[in-house]
Chains A and B, each alone.
Chain A
Protein backbone atom coordinates (compact mmCIF):
# COMPACT_ATOMS: atom_id res chain seq x y z
CA UNK A 1 0.00 0.00 0.00
CA UNK A 2 2.74 2.39 1.02
CA UNK A 3 4.74 1.42 -2.05
CA UNK A 4 1.71 2.04 -4.27
CA UNK A 5 1.34 5.51 -2.83
CA UNK A 6 5.04 6.25 -3.23
CA UNK A 7 5.05 5.23 -6.91
CA UNK A 8 1.93 7.31 -7.62
CA UNK A 9 3.16 10.44 -5.85
CA UNK A 10 6.61 10.16 -7.37
CA UNK A 11 5.30 9.81 -10.93
CA UNK A 12 2.46 12.34 -10.68
CA UNK A 13 4.18 15.10 -8.75
CA UNK A 14 7.89 14.63 -8.03
CA UNK A 15 9.00 13.14 -11.35
CA UNK A 16 6.16 14.49 -13.47
CA UNK A 17 6.92 13.26 -16.98
CA UNK A 18 6.10 16.51 -18.71
CA UNK A 19 7.19 19.21 -16.31
CA UNK A 20 10.19 17.61 -14.61
CA UNK A 21 11.49 15.00 -17.08
CA UNK A 22 10.42 16.97 -20.19
CA UNK A 23 8.96 13.99 -22.04
CA UNK A 24 5.87 14.25 -24.24
CA UNK A 25 6.09 18.00 -24.84
CA UNK A 26 4.50 17.84 -28.33
CA UNK A 27 0.92 17.11 -27.18
CA UNK A 28 1.53 19.29 -24.11
CA UNK A 29 1.95 22.35 -26.35
CA UNK A 30 -0.20 21.14 -29.25
CA UNK A 31 -3.48 20.01 -27.66
CA UNK A 32 -3.68 22.47 -24.79
CA UNK A 33 -5.63 25.23 -26.54
CA UNK A 34 -9.01 24.05 -25.29
CA UNK A 35 -9.85 22.39 -22.02
CA UNK A 36 -12.25 19.86 -23.59
CA UNK A 37 -9.70 18.69 -26.15
CA UNK A 38 -7.06 18.49 -23.43
CA UNK A 39 -9.29 16.28 -21.30
CA UNK A 40 -10.00 14.04 -24.29
CA UNK A 41 -6.29 13.79 -25.10
CA UNK A 42 -5.51 13.09 -21.44
CA UNK A 43 -7.94 10.21 -21.25
CA UNK A 44 -6.70 8.73 -24.54
CA UNK A 45 -3.08 9.01 -23.38
CA UNK A 46 -3.93 7.53 -19.96
CA UNK A 47 -5.49 4.54 -21.66
CA UNK A 48 -2.60 4.08 -24.08
CA UNK A 49 0.13 4.62 -21.48
CA UNK A 50 -1.25 2.14 -18.97
CA UNK A 51 -1.91 -0.48 -21.62
CA UNK A 52 1.47 0.10 -23.29
CA UNK A 53 3.30 -0.11 -19.96
CA UNK A 54 1.70 -3.46 -19.16
CA UNK A 55 2.10 -4.95 -22.62
CA UNK A 56 5.73 -3.86 -23.02
CA UNK A 57 6.43 -5.45 -19.65
CA UNK A 58 4.84 -8.72 -20.82
CA UNK A 59 6.73 -8.66 -24.13
CA UNK A 60 9.98 -7.94 -22.31
CA UNK A 61 9.62 -10.68 -19.69
CA UNK A 62 8.06 -13.44 -21.80
CA UNK A 63 9.65 -12.87 -25.21
CA UNK A 64 12.82 -10.85 -25.06
CA UNK A 65 14.44 -12.00 -21.80
CA UNK A 66 14.07 -15.80 -22.33
CA UNK A 67 15.65 -15.42 -25.78
CA UNK A 68 18.38 -13.12 -24.54
CA UNK A 69 17.26 -10.36 -26.89
CA UNK A 70 17.23 -7.41 -24.49
CA UNK A 71 19.02 -5.33 -27.10
CA UNK A 72 15.81 -5.40 -29.18
CA UNK A 73 13.86 -3.60 -26.44
CA UNK A 74 13.52 -0.24 -28.19
CA UNK A 75 12.28 -1.57 -31.53
CA UNK A 76 10.01 -4.17 -29.92
CA UNK A 77 8.51 -1.57 -27.57
CA UNK A 78 7.84 0.82 -30.45
CA UNK A 79 6.04 -2.02 -32.21
CA UNK A 80 3.90 -2.67 -29.13
CA UNK A 81 3.11 1.02 -28.64
CA UNK A 82 2.13 1.47 -32.30
CA UNK A 83 -0.30 -1.45 -32.03
CA UNK A 84 -1.84 -0.16 -28.79
CA UNK A 85 -2.29 3.31 -30.29
CA UNK A 86 -3.85 1.92 -33.47
CA UNK A 87 -6.21 -0.17 -31.36
CA UNK A 88 -7.18 2.88 -29.29
CA UNK A 89 -7.76 4.87 -32.47
CA UNK A 90 -10.16 2.26 -33.82
CA UNK A 91 -11.92 2.06 -30.47
CA UNK A 92 -12.38 5.84 -30.18
CA UNK A 93 -13.49 6.14 -33.81
CA UNK A 94 -16.23 3.63 -33.06
CA UNK A 95 -17.27 4.84 -29.62
CA UNK A 96 -16.90 8.63 -29.88
CA UNK A 97 -16.69 10.12 -33.41
CA UNK A 98 -16.62 13.63 -31.97
CA UNK A 99 -13.61 12.98 -29.74
CA UNK A 100 -12.00 11.24 -32.71
CA UNK A 101 -12.42 14.36 -34.80
CA UNK A 102 -11.25 16.67 -32.00
CA UNK A 103 -8.08 14.69 -31.37
CA UNK A 104 -7.45 14.39 -35.09
CA UNK A 105 -3.77 14.09 -35.91
CA UNK A 106 -2.75 13.96 -32.24
CA UNK A 107 -4.19 10.50 -31.77
CA UNK A 108 -1.66 8.77 -34.07
CA UNK A 109 0.93 11.11 -32.59
CA UNK A 110 0.62 9.33 -29.23
CA UNK A 111 2.74 6.69 -30.98
CA UNK A 112 5.64 9.11 -31.12
CA UNK A 113 4.91 10.56 -27.68
CA UNK A 114 8.27 9.93 -26.06
CA UNK A 115 6.63 9.71 -22.62
CA UNK A 116 5.10 6.38 -23.69
CA UNK A 117 8.41 4.90 -24.83
CA UNK A 118 10.10 6.53 -21.85
CA UNK A 119 7.79 4.77 -19.38
CA UNK A 120 8.37 1.41 -21.10
CA UNK A 121 12.15 1.77 -21.02
CA UNK A 122 12.22 3.12 -17.46
CA UNK A 123 10.18 0.12 -16.35
CA UNK A 124 13.03 -2.09 -17.55
CA UNK A 125 15.79 0.05 -16.09
CA UNK A 126 14.15 0.18 -12.68
CA UNK A 127 13.38 -3.56 -12.73
CA UNK A 128 9.70 -3.13 -11.85
CA UNK A 129 7.50 -6.17 -11.41
CA UNK A 130 4.15 -6.49 -13.23
CA UNK A 131 2.08 -4.53 -10.72
CA UNK A 132 4.71 -1.83 -10.33
CA UNK A 133 4.97 -1.47 -14.11
CA UNK A 134 1.21 -1.04 -14.46
CA UNK A 135 1.17 1.45 -11.61
CA UNK A 136 4.15 3.35 -12.99
CA UNK A 137 2.46 3.66 -16.39
CA UNK A 138 -0.83 4.76 -14.83
CA UNK A 139 0.95 7.27 -12.57
CA UNK A 140 2.90 8.71 -15.48
CA UNK A 141 -0.36 9.10 -17.41
CA UNK A 142 -2.02 10.79 -14.40
CA UNK A 143 0.90 13.20 -14.17
CA UNK A 144 0.68 13.91 -17.89
CA UNK A 145 -3.08 14.52 -17.62
CA UNK A 146 -2.65 16.77 -14.59
CA UNK A 147 -0.05 18.91 -16.36
CA UNK A 148 -2.04 19.04 -19.61
CA UNK A 149 -5.36 19.95 -17.98
CA UNK A 150 -3.81 22.60 -15.70
CA UNK A 151 -1.91 24.07 -18.64
CA UNK A 152 -4.91 24.17 -20.97
CA UNK A 153 -7.02 25.86 -18.29
CA UNK A 154 -4.32 28.52 -18.00
CA UNK A 155 -4.13 28.92 -21.76
CA UNK A 156 -7.90 29.46 -21.97
CA UNK A 157 -7.42 32.26 -19.48
CA UNK A 158 -4.40 33.62 -21.35
CA UNK A 159 -6.47 33.81 -24.55
CA UNK A 160 -8.53 36.65 -23.05
CA UNK A 161 -5.78 38.16 -20.92
CA UNK A 162 -4.17 41.47 -21.81
CA UNK A 163 -0.81 40.07 -22.92
CA UNK A 164 1.84 42.47 -24.32
CA UNK A 165 1.80 42.14 -28.09
CA UNK A 166 5.31 40.63 -28.41
CA UNK A 167 4.41 37.84 -25.98
CA UNK A 168 1.07 36.91 -27.59
CA UNK A 169 0.37 33.31 -28.56
CA UNK A 170 3.05 30.61 -28.27
CA UNK A 171 5.57 32.89 -26.51
CA UNK A 172 3.46 33.41 -23.40
CA UNK A 173 2.49 29.70 -23.50
CA UNK A 174 6.18 28.72 -23.39
CA UNK A 175 6.82 31.10 -20.49
CA UNK A 176 3.81 29.67 -18.65
CA UNK A 177 5.06 26.13 -19.23
CA UNK A 178 8.47 27.12 -17.86
CA UNK A 179 6.96 28.63 -14.73
CA UNK A 180 4.79 25.53 -14.23
CA UNK A 181 7.88 23.39 -14.56
CA UNK A 182 9.67 25.47 -11.92
CA UNK A 183 6.67 25.07 -9.63
CA UNK A 184 6.63 21.29 -10.08
CA UNK A 185 10.34 21.06 -9.33
CA UNK A 186 9.37 22.34 -5.90
CA UNK A 187 7.97 18.87 -5.21
CA UNK A 188 11.51 17.42 -5.27
CA UNK A 189 12.29 15.71 -1.98
CA UNK A 190 8.63 14.99 -1.21
CA UNK A 191 9.23 11.24 -1.46
Chain B
Protein backbone atom coordinates (compact mmCIF):
# COMPACT_ATOMS: atom_id res chain seq x y z
CA UNK B 1 0.00 0.00 0.00
CA UNK B 2 2.70 2.48 1.05
CA UNK B 3 4.84 1.51 -1.93
CA UNK B 4 1.87 1.88 -4.24
CA UNK B 5 1.37 5.45 -2.99
CA UNK B 6 5.09 6.24 -3.10
CA UNK B 7 5.53 4.93 -6.63
CA UNK B 8 2.25 6.04 -8.10
CA UNK B 9 1.34 9.70 -7.50
CA UNK B 10 -1.91 9.27 -9.42
CA UNK B 11 -3.10 6.55 -7.04
CA UNK B 12 -2.08 8.72 -4.10
CA UNK B 13 -4.10 11.65 -5.43
CA UNK B 14 -7.16 9.49 -6.04
CA UNK B 15 -6.88 7.84 -2.66
CA UNK B 16 -6.49 11.16 -0.84
CA UNK B 17 -9.55 12.70 -2.48
CA UNK B 18 -11.67 9.59 -1.99
CA UNK B 19 -10.73 9.42 1.71
CA UNK B 20 -11.44 13.13 2.17
CA UNK B 21 -14.83 12.73 0.51
CA UNK B 22 -15.65 9.73 2.71
CA UNK B 23 -14.80 11.61 5.88
CA UNK B 24 -16.80 14.66 4.82
CA UNK B 25 -19.72 12.46 3.76
CA UNK B 26 -19.74 10.90 7.23
CA UNK B 27 -19.72 14.37 8.85
CA UNK B 28 -22.64 15.53 6.71
CA UNK B 29 -24.53 12.32 7.34
CA UNK B 30 -24.13 12.83 11.06
CA UNK B 31 -25.26 16.45 10.75
CA UNK B 32 -28.32 15.42 8.72
CA UNK B 33 -29.42 13.15 11.58
CA UNK B 34 -28.41 15.52 14.37
CA UNK B 35 -30.03 18.65 12.90
CA UNK B 36 -33.08 16.99 11.37
CA UNK B 37 -35.97 19.45 10.98
CA UNK B 38 -39.40 17.98 11.68
CA UNK B 39 -41.95 19.44 9.31
CA UNK B 40 -41.56 22.99 8.19
CA UNK B 41 -41.24 25.36 11.16
CA UNK B 42 -42.14 28.37 9.03
CA UNK B 43 -45.64 26.88 8.52
CA UNK B 44 -46.20 26.95 12.29
CA UNK B 45 -45.26 30.62 12.44
CA UNK B 46 -47.55 31.53 9.52
CA UNK B 47 -50.36 29.46 11.06
CA UNK B 48 -49.96 31.37 14.33
CA UNK B 49 -50.62 34.66 12.52
CA UNK B 50 -53.79 33.48 10.77
CA UNK B 51 -57.07 34.15 12.62
CA UNK B 52 -58.00 30.43 12.95
CA UNK B 53 -61.59 30.98 11.85
CA UNK B 54 -61.18 27.97 9.52
CA UNK B 55 -63.64 29.75 7.21
CA UNK B 56 -62.14 28.64 3.91
CA UNK B 57 -62.54 32.03 2.22
CA UNK B 58 -58.94 31.78 1.03
CA UNK B 59 -59.84 28.75 -1.08
CA UNK B 60 -58.16 26.25 1.23
CA UNK B 61 -59.99 23.99 3.69
CA UNK B 62 -58.66 25.82 6.74
CA UNK B 63 -55.97 28.04 8.19
CA UNK B 64 -53.31 25.36 8.44
CA UNK B 65 -53.59 24.31 4.76
CA UNK B 66 -53.44 27.99 3.78
CA UNK B 67 -50.31 28.41 5.92
CA UNK B 68 -48.74 25.48 4.06
CA UNK B 69 -49.78 27.04 0.73
CA UNK B 70 -48.19 30.39 1.71
CA UNK B 71 -45.02 28.59 2.65
CA UNK B 72 -45.15 27.01 -0.82
CA UNK B 73 -45.36 30.42 -2.48
CA UNK B 74 -49.08 31.35 -2.52
CA UNK B 75 -50.21 34.97 -2.14
CA UNK B 76 -50.57 36.26 1.42
CA UNK B 77 -53.61 38.52 0.85
CA UNK B 78 -56.42 35.93 0.76
CA UNK B 79 -57.62 36.13 4.36
CA UNK B 80 -60.60 38.52 4.75
CA UNK B 81 -61.28 37.67 8.43
CA UNK B 82 -57.72 38.64 9.29
CA UNK B 83 -57.94 41.89 7.34
CA UNK B 84 -55.05 44.08 6.31
CA UNK B 85 -53.45 43.62 9.74
CA UNK B 86 -52.86 39.92 9.05
CA UNK B 87 -51.51 40.66 5.57
CA UNK B 88 -49.11 43.16 7.13
CA UNK B 89 -47.98 40.70 9.80
CA UNK B 90 -47.42 37.98 7.18
CA UNK B 91 -45.48 40.40 4.98
CA UNK B 92 -43.23 41.30 7.92
CA UNK B 93 -42.68 37.65 8.80
CA UNK B 94 -41.87 36.57 5.26
CA UNK B 95 -39.97 39.74 4.33
CA UNK B 96 -42.05 40.41 1.21
CA UNK B 97 -43.84 43.58 0.05
CA UNK B 98 -47.26 44.01 1.63
CA UNK B 99 -50.06 43.51 -0.96
CA UNK B 100 -53.57 44.94 -0.70
CA UNK B 101 -56.12 42.60 0.86
CA UNK B 102 -58.00 40.61 -1.78
CA UNK B 103 -61.70 41.13 -1.10
CA UNK B 104 -63.52 43.15 1.52
CA UNK B 105 -62.02 43.39 4.95
CA UNK B 106 -64.11 42.63 7.99
CA UNK B 107 -62.98 45.68 9.86
CA UNK B 108 -66.05 45.74 12.07
CA UNK B 109 -66.23 42.62 14.17
CA UNK B 110 -69.62 41.04 13.70
CA UNK B 111 -71.40 37.86 14.71
CA UNK B 112 -74.14 35.88 12.99
CA UNK B 113 -77.68 36.34 14.27
CA UNK B 114 -80.62 34.04 13.45
CA UNK B 115 -84.06 35.67 13.35
CA UNK B 116 -85.61 32.86 15.27
CA UNK B 117 -89.22 33.51 14.27
CA UNK B 118 -88.33 32.84 10.62
CA UNK B 119 -86.06 29.83 11.17
CA UNK B 120 -87.52 26.59 9.75
CA UNK B 121 -85.03 24.26 11.41
CA UNK B 122 -83.31 22.93 8.27
CA UNK B 123 -79.86 22.48 10.00
CA UNK B 124 -78.04 23.72 6.86
CA UNK B 125 -76.33 26.51 8.76
CA UNK B 126 -75.22 24.07 11.46
CA UNK B 127 -73.44 22.00 8.84
CA UNK B 128 -71.81 25.09 7.35
CA UNK B 129 -70.45 26.46 10.64
CA UNK B 130 -66.73 25.67 10.92
CA UNK B 131 -66.57 26.30 14.67
CA UNK B 132 -69.85 24.63 15.81
CA UNK B 133 -71.24 27.92 17.08
CA UNK B 134 -74.84 27.17 16.03
CA UNK B 135 -77.16 25.19 18.26
CA UNK B 136 -80.35 23.46 17.12
CA UNK B 137 -81.93 20.28 15.78
CA UNK B 138 -84.03 19.32 12.75
CA UNK B 139 -87.41 21.14 12.66
CA UNK B 140 -86.35 23.02 15.79
CA UNK B 141 -85.39 26.67 15.94
CA UNK B 142 -81.60 27.32 15.74
CA UNK B 143 -79.55 29.93 17.52
CA UNK B 144 -75.99 31.25 17.48
CA UNK B 145 -73.67 31.13 20.47
CA UNK B 146 -72.37 34.67 20.08
CA UNK B 147 -69.21 34.10 22.10
CA UNK B 148 -68.18 31.22 19.82
CA UNK B 149 -69.02 32.88 16.50
CA UNK B 150 -65.98 34.08 14.53
CA UNK B 151 -68.03 36.16 12.09
CA UNK B 152 -66.92 34.20 9.01
CA UNK B 153 -70.21 34.63 7.02
CA UNK B 154 -70.30 30.98 5.96
CA UNK B 155 -73.75 30.28 7.44
CA UNK B 156 -75.45 33.18 5.64
CA UNK B 157 -75.25 31.65 2.17
CA UNK B 158 -76.84 28.20 2.81
CA UNK B 159 -79.91 29.48 4.68
CA UNK B 160 -82.99 28.80 2.45
CA UNK B 161 -85.16 31.46 4.13
CA UNK B 162 -82.46 34.13 4.56
CA UNK B 163 -83.06 34.46 8.26
CA UNK B 164 -79.38 34.83 9.19
CA UNK B 165 -77.82 38.27 9.29
CA UNK B 166 -74.43 39.54 10.41
CA UNK B 167 -74.75 42.02 13.25
CA UNK B 168 -71.86 44.16 14.39
CA UNK B 169 -70.80 43.52 17.97
CA UNK B 170 -71.85 46.57 20.01
CA UNK B 171 -69.06 48.33 21.79
CA UNK B 172 -69.36 48.11 25.56
CA UNK B 173 -67.29 49.59 28.35
CA UNK B 174 -65.45 46.29 28.74
CA UNK B 175 -64.61 45.85 25.05
CA UNK B 176 -63.69 49.43 24.18
CA UNK B 177 -60.03 50.29 23.68
CA UNK B 178 -57.99 53.14 22.29
CA UNK B 179 -57.98 53.17 18.54
CA UNK B 180 -54.60 52.03 17.18
CA UNK B 181 -53.07 55.00 15.35
CA UNK B 182 -52.67 54.57 11.58
CA UNK B 183 -49.15 53.57 10.54
CA UNK B 184 -47.04 56.59 9.72
CA UNK B 185 -47.02 55.52 6.08
CA UNK B 186 -50.75 56.18 5.66
CA UNK B 187 -50.16 59.79 6.58
CA UNK B 188 -47.38 60.06 4.01
CA UNK B 189 -49.57 58.84 1.18
CA UNK B 190 -49.24 55.07 0.87
CA UNK B 191 -45.65 54.88 2.03
CA UNK B 192 -45.24 52.14 4.61
CA UNK B 193 -43.42 53.00 7.80
CA UNK B 194 -40.74 50.35 7.44
CA UNK B 195 -39.74 51.82 4.08
CA UNK B 196 -38.28 54.78 5.92
CA UNK B 197 -35.32 54.50 8.19
CA UNK B 198 -35.65 55.98 11.62
CA UNK B 199 -33.82 59.26 11.01
CA UNK B 200 -36.01 60.14 8.02
CA UNK B 201 -39.33 59.58 9.78
CA UNK B 202 -39.74 63.14 10.92
CA UNK B 203 -39.34 64.56 7.44
CA UNK B 204 -42.81 64.27 5.89
CA UNK B 205 -41.47 65.11 2.43
CA UNK B 206 -39.33 61.99 2.01
CA UNK B 207 -40.88 59.44 -0.33
CA UNK B 208 -40.03 55.88 -1.28
CA UNK B 209 -38.07 55.40 -4.48
Cβ of B32 and Cβ of A97 under 8 Å apart? Answer: no
**Chain A residues in 8 Å Cβ range of B27:** 83, 87
Q: Is B208 engaged at the interface, CB distance under 8 Å to the other chain?
A: yes
A43 to chain B, nearest CB (A): 17
Identify the 8 closest CB pairs spanning chains A and B, nearest first.
A94-B35, A97-B41, A83-B24, A90-B35, A90-B31, A67-B12, A97-B42, A159-B209
Cβ of A97 and Cβ of B24 under 8 Å apart? Answer: no
Cβ of B196 and Cβ of A75 under 8 Å apart? Answer: no
For residue A63, which residue of chain B has the nearest CB?
A: B16
Give B49-104 interface residues, CB cut-off 8 Å to A.
93-95
| Interface residue tally for chain A (C-beta within 8 Å) | 33
For residue A165, which residue of chain B has the nearest CB?
A: B209
Partner of B208, one of A34, A67, A90, A160: A160
For residue B41, which residue of chain A has the nearest CB?
A: A97
Between-chain CB contacts (< 8 Å), 29 pairs = A63-B16, A64-B16, A67-B12, A67-B13, A69-B12, A72-B17, A76-B16, A76-B17, A76-B20, A79-B17, A79-B21, A79-B24, A80-B24, A83-B24, A87-B27, A90-B28, A93-B35, A94-B37, A97-B41, A97-B42, A98-B42, A98-B45, A101-B42, A101-B94, A102-B95, A159-B195, A160-B207, A160-B209, A161-B209
**Chain A residues in 8 Å Cβ range of B16:** 63-64, 67, 69, 72, 76
A53 to chain B, nearest CB (A): 16
A99 to chain B, nearest CB (A): 11
Q: Is A126 engaged at the interface, CB distance under 8 Å to the other chain?
A: no
**Chain A residues in 8 Å Cβ range of B31:** 86-87, 90-91
For residue A93, which residue of chain B has the nearest CB?
A: B37
Given A79-B20, A97-B42: A168 and B209 interface contact (C-beta under 8 Å)? yes
- Alpha-carbon separation in the docked complex, A140 to B19 (Å): 29
Report A54-91 CB contacts with B as 1/0, cut-off 8 Å: 00000100011001110010011001100100110011
A122 to chain B, nearest CB (A): 21
- Alpha-carbon separation in the docked complex, A98 to B41 (Å): 9
In this complex, which of B5, B35, B200 has the most chain A Cβ atoms within 10 angstroms of its Cβ? B35
Q: Is B197 engaged at the interface, CB distance under 8 Å to the other chain?
A: yes
Give B1-55 interface residues, CB cut-off 8 Å to A.
5, 9, 12-13, 16-17, 19-21, 24, 27-28, 31-32, 35-37, 40-42, 45
Q: Is A127 engaged at the interface, CB distance under 8 Å to the other chain?
A: no
Q: Is B107 engaged at the interface, CB distance under 8 Å to the other chain?
A: no
For residue B38, which residue of chain A has the nearest CB?
A: A94
Partner of A68, one of B9, B94, B200, B208: B9
Q: Is B206 engaged at the interface, CB distance under 8 Å to the other chain?
A: yes
- Residues on A lying within 8 angstroms of B by beta carbon are 34, 37, 59, 63-64, 67-69, 72, 75-76, 79-80, 83, 86-87, 90-91, 93-94, 97-98, 101-102, 156-161, 163, 168-169
Given A83-B24, A91-B31, A158-B209: A72 and B196 interface contact (C-beta under 8 Å)? no
Cβ of B35 and Cβ of A91 under 8 Å apart? Answer: yes
For residue B209, which residue of chain A has the nearest CB?
A: A159
**Chain B residues in 8 Å Cβ range of A93:** 35, 37
Cβ of B20 and Cβ of A63 under 8 Å apart? Answer: yes
**Chain B residues in 8 Å Cβ range of A161:** 209
